[in-house]
Amino acid sequence: MAFTSADIDAVDRAIASGELTVRTNDRLVTYRSMEELTAARAVIAGALAAQSASAAVYPRHQLADFSDD
């Protein structure tokens, strides 16, 4: 599942307010504890970091020239 910055923003708002229910777009999730909510935030943050890291990798190539000029 691809996470967005809106997902982590919603989790951050829930953590800040002490709520265990997070609503993003068409999803409503209620966590059992604040520990579970903060663990979900860590998963989302890790996925977003991985998405941005993979997007920042450029294709690498080298060109070798063996001419006798």
Confidence at residue 32, expressed as pLDDT on a 0 to 100 scale: 96
66 pLDDT tier (thresholds 50, 70, 90): confident
Domain parsing of the chain, residue ranges: 5-54
State the amino acid at position 37 in one-letter form: L
Confidence at residue 58, expressed as pLDDT on a 0 to 100 scale: 64
Determine if the pTM surpasses 0.85.
no
Q: Work out the burial of residue 29: count CB atoms within 10 Å of its CB; fewer than 13 is exposed, 13-18 middle, 19 or more buried.
A: middle
State the amino acid at position 59 in one-letter form: P
Q: For the segment 21-57, what is each residue's pLDDT rounded down to a tens digit?
A: 999 888 899 999 999 999 999 999 999 998 887 655 5
Confidence at residue 59, expressed as pLDDT on a 0 to 100 scale: 64
